[in-house]
Structure 1
Amino acid sequence: MSATIDLLHDLITEVRTESFTAEIAIGSAAICGSVIAGSVVAQRWRPHAGTSEQFGWRLARMVAAAMAFAVLSVQVSLSGWLTAADAPMLHWPADHRSSGWTRTARIVTEVSGLPVTALLGLSAGLILWRRHSPGAAAMLLGCVAAAAVAGPLGALVVGRAAPPVIPESSYSFPSEHVTTTTALVGAVLVAFGAGGSRGRLRTAITAVGASAVGLVGAAQLYLGEHWLTDVVGGVLLGSLIVLTGSTIRQRSIQPALPGDSPITVLPVASPPSA
């Protein structure tokens, strides 16, 4: 038993020691990306699969997103290889700022703050409620609320110092603006059925949502309020929250499909009468 404990301790120590090397970072990113892409392709390839199989692919994406966020968090906390681009990405906008673009970036930052995000989430939830979709409304509001809590909590756990333009007492990983925006946009796309759209319409809707998230992240970088990995962490955390919320909702409402194994209910014989 002690040998097993020592082995686990050595393994954890090795992972922590090697977690900021390029090999571990690239390998983990490749695995997570492959699982997410593979599960999406498989689900598209078998649209009429049973609920158990569909749930399995959704669960695989959740685990991959969680793993990616965990690896990035460790990298950030240990100033690992993935943080190498943070300093250049912070300094380049500082050397190319203009008053007009700075004003625009500040407007984007204000609009993507928690008060506006919460108001937009409540408005979308009200629309869904009036459309007799209380489950979708609850999922959307739950994702926004979870993002509002998870962002600051993650910042406290990782404890990464913010860039110099931010007060020293502030933590920056993950970006709370990007986390809540990603959660809101993703939950809106799921709740209003963008995934059920076809062809160019689905692509266009997804592109608009991704552009909104990218705009918020770019504004944070341009103003020097976050490191690059803070923005990436916000996207990963927000996506994980949406994946979790949509999977729970889908599992609770989706009927059995032909691919599922039927459950046979055996009759119970009544005791013989005296």
Structure 2
Amino acid sequence: MPLTTPGVDHDITRWVADHRTAWLTDVFRVITTVGNTAAMTLIAVVAAIVLWRIGSRDRALTVLIGSASGWLLMQALKHLIARPRPEPRFRVIAIDTFSFPSGHAMMSAVVLGLVGVAAWQTSTRVRAHPAILAIAPAASLLIGASRVYLGVHWTTDVVAGWVIGAIWVVLAGALARALRARRRTTAPARDVS
């Protein structure tokens, strides 16, 4: 059954459409491109390669597997809920897939969140300058906002995408920690004689 929200979602979408400007539309077109599947995949793969090369293979796999499984979850939710997008008259970009959750919002939260956690865990520079970590949520917020501004998602699609993405990052991190702890406790003792 499609999820519909005739109240606040419609009001926000209508207000945004009525207040668009050409320059801001151009800015949000660029921002939304940064949040697409190709860009998020590239970010995840590059981060995983860097992590692998510095010897943090567990974290590289967490970024890759967490991102890929997050994408599968997002696709499953879209098809399960089958929520229609805002009406074509509101859309700046032509798109006809399902709306809930926003893939851009969810996957930017997942990918940038996983990369941010890995950066915190592996980089003394990042730990010394924790403000750097604000880049990930700020970018995800802008990417999600671009989807509402361009009229291709309802606001609740975007908020749900951020929430589900954040939960997925927490779950992926918890699973990775549990697997590392299990591996440490089951590893055979090394002979030091």
Q: Kindly indicate whether the alpha-carbon contact (under 8 Å) linking 2:34 and 2:143 is maintained by their aligned counterparts in 1.
A: no
Q: Which has the higher contact order (CA 8 A, sep 6+)?
A: 2
Alpha-carbon distance, 1:229 to partner: 0.5
Q: Is it true that 1:77 corresponds to 2:7 in the alignment?
A: no
| TM-fit CA distance, 1:190 | 1.3
1:205 aligns with 2:128: no
Q: Which residue among 118, 121, 130 is the counterpart of 2:41?
A: 118
RMSD, aligned α-carbons? 2.6
Number of aligned positions between the proteins:
177
The answer to whether residue 68 in structure 2 is matched with residue 140 in structure 1 is no
Q: How far apart are residue 96 of structure 1 and its match?
A: 1.1
Is 1:187 the counterpart of 2:114? The answer is: yes
**Relative to 1, partners in 2 of residues 1:210 and 1:226: Cα closer, same or farther, differing over 3 Å?**
same
CA distance in 2, matches of 1:188, 1:169: 30
- Structure 2, unpaired ranges of 5+: 183-193
Please state if 1:233 is matched with 2:156.
no
Q: Deviations over 1:51-90 (max 9, x none)?
A: xxxxxxxxxxxxxxxxxxxxxxx9x8364xxx74211210
Rounded to whole Å, the distance in 2 between the matches of 1:127 and 1:168 is 34
Specify the alignment match of 1:253 in structure 2. 180
1:194 deviation in Å?
Answer: 5.6
Contact 2:95 2:152 survives alignment (8 Å): no
Contact 2:3–2:81 (Cα < 8 Å) also in 1:
yes
Aligned residues of 1:154 and 1:174 also touching (Cα < 8 A): yes
How does the TM-score come out when normalised to structure 1? Answer: 0.59
Deviations 1:205-255 (A, max 9, x none): 332221111100111111111001000111112112211110011112248
Alignment gaps of 5+ in structure 1: 1-73, 256-274
In the alignment, which residue of structure 2 is the partner of 1:153? Answer: 76
3-state SS of paired residue (1:170): coil
Q: Alpha-carbon deviations, 1:161-186, whole Å to 9, x = none? A: 11112679531000011111000111
| Alignment partner of 1:173 out of 93, 100, 104 | 100
In structure 1, what is the equivalent of residue 189 of structure 2?
A: none
Amino acid at match of 1:95: D
Q: 1:94 Cα deviation (Å)? A: 0.7
Amino acid paired to 2:3: S
CA distance in 2, matches of 1:171, 1:190: 30
Offset of residue 122 of structure 1: 0.3
Percent identical pairs in the alignment equals 28
Query: TM-score normalised to the size of structure 2?
Result: 0.82
Shift of 1:200: 8.1
